Amino acid sequence: LEEQIRSLQASTPRKYPKVKYLNYKNRKRILITGGAGFVGSHLVDDLMIQGHEIIVVDNFFTGRKRNVEHWLGHENFELIHHDIVNPLFIEIDEIYHLASPASPPHYMYNPVKTIKTNTMGTINVLGLAKRVMAKVLIASTSEVYGDPTVHPQPETYWGHVNPIGPRACYDEGKRVSETLSYAYAKQEKVQVRVARIFNTYGPRMHMNDGRVVSNFILQALRNETITVYGNGKQTRSFQYVSDLVDGMIALMASNYTQPVNLGNPVEQSIEEFAQIIKQLVGGPSEIKQTKAMEDDPQRRKPDITRAKTLLKWEPKVPLETGLMKTISYFRNELARSDRFQEN
Ligand code: NAD
Ligand code: UDP
Ligand code: UDP
């Protein structure tokens, strides 16, 4: 058997994306919690290519091995199956803390677990950062602004969140996550960065994610009715994932410790967004209004002055370009799942 394994390995060398060589002084050991998820896996790609050592910790609630499988076996990469609600003892230089369900159906599926992940999980991450003196970037969210009464939303806005509504487990969970970060910064001198991420889309979004981008694209690709929740007058601003990843890396590298909005300020009503997707995908799908979501934020658009001035960052990918890449990703995913069903 050993002989067989050896000859198999010799005949099929793994091909990895090309990574830069960084010398010992510049190479960091970076932990990415939630690194097998949508955003996390793109962050893994960028930091691997830069030449760092990456450790992904994920419990695979919504993440998938497939998102990072192209790195499995690489000497700079490690994948650990672990739930961040439990303590974690490893040695690292930086942490990107992304572990948390992110789409409303996923975080509402088990609200208690969502709260535990964003409170106990964040405490463990901050405790780890304190012990090894690592810098931490917390993936917070525009949901900390709730259903905002200020438009667009600057970081100085304190938000308008219903503490007992269906979204509270996530919104309040992330608010506590931010509070914990600044408490550890003040009391324990942990270096923290807080990214308030606005709606992000792109390849590797989960098929059953339930968020508007994946729902509308899949409905259009399957010639099904496109479902607008409520009257469709509510707005969102959509950022492509590569822009977000650039922003997160720039924020980590900066000296700025206050929260920073990362999002694309181009705002759309959901009704308009349905039209855009229908047009880009083509096909006969109808657009229909259905029941409104409880506590659905009515307007959302980031004020990105802070990121522009301090990080020299702003989104680059136009909506149509990003959506075309995402549509082609979902088209392949559908073909793949059809092939599985045939077999
Ligand atoms: P995702 O669901 O694809 O990724 C989250 C990852 O965290 C998954 O791999 C999941 O398995 C993992 N995870 C969940 N609970 C865990 C736990 N207890 N222990 C270990 N791993 C756990 O979602 P995403 O869109 O990639 O979001 C990543 C982060 O960015 C989240 O923290 C989310 O709140 C934040 N965010 C995302 C958006 C967006 O539009 N995508 C917007 C705002 C904030
Ligand atoms: N922790 C961890 N990894 C570490 C250090 C700490 O997971 O390397 C956890 C630890 O188990 C604790 C939490 O982080 O539950 C907070 O740590 P802190 O040192 O702040 O608190 P304490 O251990 O004093 O309760
Ligand atoms: N939405 C919709 N149809 C869907 C999914 C979502 O009309 O199939 C709406 C939802 O009510 C919200 C917006 O699209 O107003 C964005 O929803 P999403 O779940 O993507 O993210 P949110 O910003 O609410 O976290």
Q: In terms of Cα–Cα distance, which of 238, 239, 234, 237 is closest to 297?
A: 234
* Radius of gyration of the chain, Cα coordinates, nearest whole angstrom: 20
**Cα–Cα distance between 36 and 80 in angstroms, integer?**
10
Q: Is 229 a catalytic residue?
A: no
Q: Is the CB of 87 under 6 A from ligand 2?
A: yes
- For residue 215, which atom of ligand 3 is closest to its CA? 8
Residue 131 alpha carbon to ligand 2 centre in Å: 8
Residue 88 alpha carbon to ligand 2 centre in Å: 8
ipTM above 0.95, yes or no: yes
Name 185's Cβ contacts closer than 8 Å, sequence gap at least 6.
191, 192, 257
Give phi and psi for 301, each to the nearest 5.
-160, 130
Question: Global pTM?
Answer: 0.96
Residue 162 alpha carbon to ligand 3 centre in Å: 18
pLDDT by 10s per residue, the chain, length 343: 888 777 776 666 678 999 999 999 999 999 999 999 999 999 999 999 999 999 999 999 999 999 999 999 999 999 999 999 999 999 999 999 999 999 999 999 999 999 999 999 999 999 999 999 999 999 999 999 999 999 999 999 999 999 999 999 999 999 999 999 999 999 999 999 999 999 999 999 998 889 999 999 999 999 999 999 999 999 999 999 999 999 999 999 999 999 999 999 999 999 999 999 999 999 899 999 999 999 999 999 999 999 999 999 999 999 999 999 999 999 999 999 888 777 6
Testing ligand 1's pocket by substitution, the residue of 59, 86, 100, 251 carrying the most ligand atoms inside 8 A of its CB is 100
Query: Can you name the residues that pair with 32 across neighbouring β-strands?
Result: 56, 96
**What is the 8-class DSSP label of residue 192?**
E
Catalytic residue, candidates 96, 107, 145, 170: 170
End-to-end CA distance of the chain: 29
Ramachandran sector of residue 75 (left: φ over 0; alpha: ψ -120 to 50; beta: rest): alpha
DSSP labels for 302-321? B--HHIIIII-----S-HHH
